[in-house]
Amino acid sequence: MTRFVRVALLAAFAAPHAGGRAAAQDVDVEALYKKVVRSAVYVITPTKAGVSTGSGSLIDAEKRYVITNAHVVDENEVVYVQFPVYKADGTIVGDKNLYKQRVPQGLAIPGRVLFRDKKRDLALVQLDRIPLGTPAIPLARKSTSQGATVWNIGSPGAVPQLFSITDGKVRTIGVETHDYGHGMIVTARYLTATNPTNPGDSGGPLFNKDGHQIAVTQGGAVGAQQINLFIDIMEVRGFLNEKKLTIKEQLPDDAPPPDAKTDPGSLAPPAGKADPEADEAAAKSLLSRATAFSEGEDNKPEYVKRLKDLVKKYPATAAAKEAQQKLKALGQ
């Protein structure tokens, strides 16, 4: 009897583990890479000392929007962006020097920095053009979960070849504050993962087994092993929403995140005209997003801040009144 129970228990514990291995092996990583890398970009930013480099991803092909880190574009108004260049046999030209030479040759794509949010370490760049047929990477509509296998594409400075890929596991997801010095303090919803990252990877896409972007690579945690930092997709959506920008959604709207907006137009009303309906929609989205931080004492300061920002930005909306009631209940 004892031996039977032991065997049964071993089988019970082994089965999920084996299933997990099988699930991971079912992912065709080569095909996944070929799919996502088409939306990945190499970013070259002019500096006083020369150039700095980073990564990014195309999130809207029609509007030519690229998402990256604010620290990648720095204070520049224009950066130079390049998608993978392919050889005749379909493989990618990886030589970093060849891509750098394309900038003075006029072959790199100029990109205008439309918005930057240093508190989230995010920036939105609009390209002058994109290669014909280049797809945008689909943005996930919600955060992923701990334990998920994820991949990221970037171009680390220590590697002479561009568009490399690494994999790892999601460790944690939550609001954190990181002080990077020089006045750069980021408070955002971070995803930490075991994916190795290095300077040059910053701004690139972190994506799931379906090829949907779930975060933006930011960098590694100083003095820690296998703890690398990514800005969660909900911060990307919040960034776009607060700038009153929309993108062409590529995923079904069956599980919309707090900031999902499928209208292909802009939330912003025409210049000089009020648009109460748009304000209500935007305010409702901000309220929903703020509610994501309503649980836990550690999240309370961020929750209060977001509610106050909503009231200040859209004071005449129903969502603002609801936010005021929540603030009152919190003693604010």
Class of domain 33-127: mainly beta
pLDDT tens-place string over residues 19-74: 444 445 689 999 999 999 999 999 999 988 888 999 999 999 999 999 999 999 99
- The tens digit of pLDDT for each residue in 199-215 reads 999 999 999 999 999 99
Q: Do domains 33-127 and 149-233 have the same CATH topology?
A: yes
Mean pLDDT of the chain: 84
Q: Burial of 151 by CB count in 10 Å (0-12 exposed, 13-18 middle, 19+ buried)?
A: buried
Question: Does residue 271 surpass a pLDDT of 70?
Answer: no
pLDDT of residue 15: 42
Average pLDDT over residues 140-164: 94
CA–CA separation, 242 and 266 (whole Å): 11
149-233 to CATH, choices 2.40.10.10, 3.10.129.10, 2.60.120.460, 2.60.40.10: 2.40.10.10
List, for residues 286-308, the tens digit of each pLDDT value: 787 777 667 667 677 878 888 89
pLDDT tier at 275, thresholds 50, 70, 90: low
Query: What is the rounded CA–CA span in Å between residue 14 and residue 211?
Result: 29
How is the chain split into domains, by residue range? Answer: 2-26, 33-127, 149-233, 267-329
d(CA 69, CA 202): 7
Look at the pTM and tell me if it is higher than 0.85: no
pLDDT above 70 coverage of the chain, percent: 80
Distance (Å) of CA 99 to CA 21, 93, 111, 144: 38, 9, 16, 33
